[in-house]
Structure 1
Amino acid sequence: MKRPKYKQIIEYIKEKIGNGEWPIGSKIPSQRTLAREFNVNRSTVITALEELAADGLIEGRMGKGTVVVSNTWTLLANRSSPDWGKYVDAGFQQPSRKTVQEINQSESNPDLIQLSKGELSKDMFPLSVMKEMMGKVAHNLEAFGYEEPKGYLPLREALSRYLRTLGIQASPASILIVSGALQALQLISMGLLQSGSTVFLDRPSYLYSLHVFQSAGMKLSGLPMDEAGLLPQTIGTVPRGRAILYTNPCFQNPTGVLMSQKRREEVLRLSEKEQLPIIEDDIYRELWIDQAPPPPIKSIDQNGHVLYIGSFSKTLSPGLRIGWIVGPEPVIERLSDIKMQTDYGSSSLSQRVAAEWLTTGHYQKHLENVRDQLKKRRDFVLEVLAEHLKGLASWNVPKGGFFIWLNILPPLSMKSLYAKALAEGILLNSGSIYAQENGNFIRLSYAFASSGDLKKGIYQLSLIIKTLATESGKK
């Protein structure tokens, strides 16, 4: 006979506590999360939690949720566990915001309509070519171990040739292979900046949803943007000190803004004047739709002023975990040393596969297909938005990238919008996680979900907005 669902939940939690995965002081998943995992309503979860609380294993605490307060009785009599909560709280890396953590976890839930995910649809994954590239690597494979500190030389040589097509002159010695753009930022925070430094950046910005620089004791200082990108005149108004400027000039995350050529020149000129180094995060560059974007800021940098970051995660596959930093050789030497201390190099196998993509010409062919698909998706979503959200929201028309920046027009609670959408199976990214304080914004991705899910999700979103707007008007 099948056990009742609430009993399954009880046994699951007891097992987690009993084997030490959830030691004393651990916060257990929320009622909503458990209900979703076990496919039950919240009343079933509450019944299970009440029984566990009666047994003295868990306890609800104000402001902390439900936490483990005791081991199972057989373990309780024989051993005690350290208070891991104190160790967790003492770690220098700041946790992601709760909303960001929930989004990260929910992005792996196949039952949700993913209107937030910054990733290419599996339909665009070049499976057959990837198998071919991996087959070539496997056929020519010899014994391999750790790579040299800067990464697999044939990959850096291939990247050097590729970067020349973007106007960037970079020898293999000035390129460091990293495990994605995020690691590049982590290495910079560890190796080039001291505690108390300031990171100037576009506002809103994806960087606000991370705690890479804040955990290293640095503060973020947002600079305003317009339709042409970061406003350069604001650079001269910021207080000086040890600082760096982070910008995402191509199809900026989350707004989708494309920085103009003139603006890029102004940003570099004023940054050089203020002796403010630049981190140019250009991971969306190749995802242009209407026409190729202006050359990178790095391409007009003649003084080693710009650190340039690229990646295959958005254009090819995040699973490869391959990105790169381009910069002055002394900087690359410093960052490569820190990378060796951190992980002793990115995957040798992934680096070989990445090199194969670049050297065979398949990468450029793949990009052409991706751009074609993104154009169809963007145009489709714009039609759906016009059909269902006209009068409820305003939006930009992105020239590339993954995102449309939606401004919800009725005054309503974005927390309520996010929660109600999630309860109805739709995952959104609210503008608040990117430090967008004015207005009610949503970052909507047209890159991942199917056309059916995009249409259904946007339609349901329109109904939710209408409902919340009506409720708000009655208050």
Structure 2
Amino acid sequence: MARIVPLNIDWKPDRASGKPVTEQIVDYMCEQVSSGNWPIGSRLPSQRALAEWFGVNRSTVIAAVAELSDYGIVEGRRGGGTRIVSNTWSLMLPGAPDWADYVGSGFFKANNATIQAINRYEFAPGMTRIGTGEIDPRLFSKSMWRHVLGEAANEIDSLGYPPPEGLPQLREAIANHMRDSGIECAPEQVLVTSGALQALQLISVSLLPANSTVYAEAPSYIKSLQVFQSAGMHLEGVPMDGGGIDVHALNDSLTGRRSSSSVSSVSATVSTPDDGRISDALDASMSVMPVPSSASAECRPSGIGRKRRGDAILYTIPTNHNPTGITMDDRRRRELIECCVANRLPIIEDGAYRDLYFEDDAPLPLKAFDETGMVIALGSASKSLAPGLRIGWMIAAEPIVQRLADVKMQVDYGASVLSQWAFARFLSSGLYDEYVAGLKTELLRRRDCAMRVLQEKLGDCAHWNVPKGGFYIWLTFDRPMRMGRLFQLAVEHGVLLNPGDIYDFAANNSLRLSYSYTTPEEFAAAVEVLAAIARELA
């Protein structure tokens, strides 16, 4: 059945611009659809109502809707009004299913249509993927894996169900690995998960009540997921600058003020059972959270700042941020910790890319500054070693580990024993550090080649950051670009892109580019295609 979206239209065409009003309306409506603000399956208001909202004649609205219909984005049905049936990217999927009739009935929300298209095209033969968050499979070392799996086979006594917290040998190895990075923790504070994504899923259904707020950088990897929204959470984007998350903007949002940089919000519509409070485990770990004496006045608000915010949490990627590639420096990290302590705001620190920092003096994790148990640190073998291993971990207070281990037992009875043994052997033998050192050398070479190619091919029409590690370059075009059309044309030429707005809280003019999956030669050829298309659309 068609759903009517409660549209909150506060936009009107600019009659002073040289752009035709009809074209402005089409662009606006396309942006709302492609960003997900107007979901597929939603029914548009009547043409008369749209004309009143936009302040135009009804004939202008009719012309705009007709153009959207020509694009295949909307469709009029007898007795059913006009519905959104596709967006500019899902048009490329012949026979794409209409999720509207069943997506609302399940617990998990459907992925953004663009993400669904990307997921499908990633397996298309002959497609060059320059946005993918994965290591080039040609870097896979068969000899190393044969050695490690052979040793693991000699140590494995059985393949029965593991403890839900993880194999003791792996928990010990991860604790040692974390101590090397600056996080003091015991094996009892380690929970092994089936990838870092499962850790987020466990947190979303176990520690936070529905209608909680999850703050995150804008843009952020979390925006491309439905994990927290499926659990009934609200997402709020906090602006970034070249140093990472804007701490002042976060503090202003937490204390009810507004900074000059707006904070974007996305609300979930799926409800879950709610006991009205954060779980006992989180209460136990957060019961005493003193404000450090070094906290600045900016981050020590009165009133609300001295009460624990049991309805909110911060998700952040401080090192090799996904998708921007930014790494937060030590000063910004301390400011962020002070602000969150002052506002009783727990932190989820995603360290999936931390081991891939290129320079020797990697900033300390946020967890290393944590004196109150407020930071839950996540790690993963997916980015540094092998995504198919499906091994991630969480470092948290023991009550949280025990709470989530109990939930994990209900979900999957523990991560793969074989994968746990293999990763434990990688860590304890020193092979992991040796392998990662070589991988970083190769990624750095690919990054430098990517920088040269971008300067040569796109230096006159776009700008980007220079990442200090990880996989990603955040490229932004200097002039407005029809990103949906760019995506479509690139696919037609065998190049798969990751549009920036799947990570953001509003439409943007950016791409997430990755140098990790392709050789420098493949990347250069794909960027040449991208540059030609971009100039065609300019």
Q: Return the alpha-carbon distance in structure 1 between the equivalents of residues 499 and 175 of structure 2.
A: 38
1:93 correspondence with 2:108: yes
List per-residue Cα deviations over 1:97-144 (Å, max 9, x = no partner).
Answer: 000011111112241010111111123222211111011111333223
Q: Which residue of 2 aligns with 1:8?
A: none
1:411 correspondence with 2:480: yes
Amino acid aligned to 1:313? S
List per-residue Cα deviations over 1:417-461 (Å, max 9, x = no partner).
Answer: 111111111100111101163641000000001222101100111
Q: State the 1:335 CA deviation.
A: 0.7
Aligned residue runs from structure 1 range 279-428, under 5 A: 279-428=348-497
Q: Which residue of 1 aligns with 2:241?
A: 226
Q: Return the alpha-carbon distance in structure 2 between the equivalents of residues 250 and 409 of structure 1.
A: 26
Q: Contact 2:133/2:514 (CA < 8 Å) preserved in 1?
A: yes
List per-residue Cα deviations over 1:39-93 (Å, max 9, x = no partner).
Answer: xxxxxxxxxxxxxxxxxxxxxx982787699xxxxxxxxxxxxxx9855541021
Q: State the 1:204 CA deviation.
A: 0.4
1:434 to 490, 497, 503: 503
Q: Which residue of 2 aligns with 1:453?
A: 522
List per-residue Cα deviations over 1:349-380 (Å, max 9, x = no partner).
Answer: 10000000001000000011011001100000
Amino acid aligned to 2:327? L
- Stretches of structure 2 that go unaligned for 5 or more consecutive residues are 1-40, 42-82, 255-308
- Describe the SS at the equivalent of 1:148: coil
Q: Which residue of 2 aligns with 1:107?
A: 122
Aligned residue runs from structure 1 range 161-240, under 5 A: 161-239=176-254
Q: Return the alpha-carbon distance in structure 2 between the equivalents of residues 67 and 231 of structure 1.
A: 43
Q: Return the alpha-carbon distance in structure 1 between the equivalents of residues 323 and 431 of structure 2.
A: 29
Q: Contact 2:223/2:505 (CA < 8 Å) preserved in 1?
A: no
Q: Return the alpha-carbon distance in structure 2 between the equivalents of residues 325 and 154 of structure 1.
A: 15
TM-score, structure 1 as length reference:
0.80
Range moving further from structure 2, 192-201 or 227-236 = 227-236
- Describe the SS at the equivalent of 1:224: strand
Amino acid aligned to 2:173? A
List per-residue Cα deviations over 1:372-423 (Å, max 9, x = no partner).
Answer: 0011000001111111111121111111110011011232211111111111
Amino acid aligned to 1:101? Q
Q: Which residue of 2 aligns with 1:157?
A: 172
Q: Which residue of 1 aligns with 2:346?
A: 277
Change (3 A) 1:439 1:218: closer
Q: Contact 2:199/2:378 (CA < 8 Å) preserved in 1?
A: yes
Q: Return the alpha-carbon distance in structure 2 between the equivalents of residues 247 and 229 of structure 1.
A: 9
- Stretches of structure 1 that go unaligned for 5 or more consecutive residues are 1-26, 28-60, 70-83, 470-475
Q: Return the alpha-carbon distance in structure 2 between the equivalents of residues 257 and 453 of structure 1.
A: 24
List per-residue Cα deviations over 1:210-239 (Å, max 9, x = no partner).
Answer: 100001110100111111111112232224
List per-residue Cα deviations over 1:231-288 (Å, max 9, x = no partner).
Answer: 1122322245510000000010000010010111111111011100000001111111
List per-residue Cα deviations over 1:284-321 (Å, max 9, x = no partner).
Answer: 11111233420101011111110000000000000100
1:265 to 305, 324, 334: 334
TM-score, structure 2 as length reference:
0.71
Amino acid aligned to 2:354? R
Q: Contact 2:453/2:524 (CA < 8 Å) preserved in 1?
A: yes
Q: Return the alpha-carbon distance in structure 2 between the equivalents of residues 282 and 464 of structure 1.
A: 35
Amino acid aligned to 2:343? E
Q: Contact 2:193/2:415 (CA < 8 Å) preserved in 1?
A: yes
Q: Contact 2:213/2:236 (CA < 8 Å) preserved in 1?
A: yes
Q: Contact 1:126/1:366 (CA < 8 Å) preserved in 2?
A: no
Q: Contact 2:103/2:110 (CA < 8 Å) preserved in 1?
A: no
Q: Return the alpha-carbon distance in structure 2 between the equivalents of residues 67 and 453 of structure 1.
A: 31
Q: Which residue of 2 aligns with 1:141?
A: 156
- Describe the SS at the equivalent of 2:355: coil
Amino acid aligned to 1:63? V
Aligned residue runs from structure 1 range 118-133, under 5 A: 118-133=133-148
Q: Contact 2:501/2:508 (CA < 8 Å) preserved in 1?
A: no
Change (3 A) 1:220 1:89: closer
Q: How much identity, in percent, do the aligned residues show? A: 42
Q: Contact 1:258/1:293 (CA < 8 Å) preserved in 2?
A: no
> Where does structure 1 differ by over 3 angstroms across 4 or more consecutive aligned residues?
64-69, 84-89, 436-439
1:63 to 85, 92, 113: 85
Change (3 A) 1:438 1:292: farther
Q: Which residue of 2 aligns with 1:31?
A: none
Amino acid aligned to 1:224? P
Q: Return the alpha-carbon distance in structure 2 between the equivalents of residues 439 and 462 of structure 1.
A: 18
Q: Which residue of 2 aligns with 1:35?
A: none
Q: State the 1:163 CA deviation.
A: 0.9
- Describe the SS at the equivalent of 1:442: strand
2:318 to 231, 249, 255: 249
- Describe the SS at the equivalent of 1:238: helix
Q: Which residue of 2 aligns with 1:14?
A: none
Q: Return the alpha-carbon distance in structure 2 between the equivalents of residues 301 and 316 of structure 1.
A: 27
Amino acid aligned to 1:346? A
Q: Return the alpha-carbon distance in structure 1 between the equivalents of residues 507 and 146 of structure 2.
A: 47
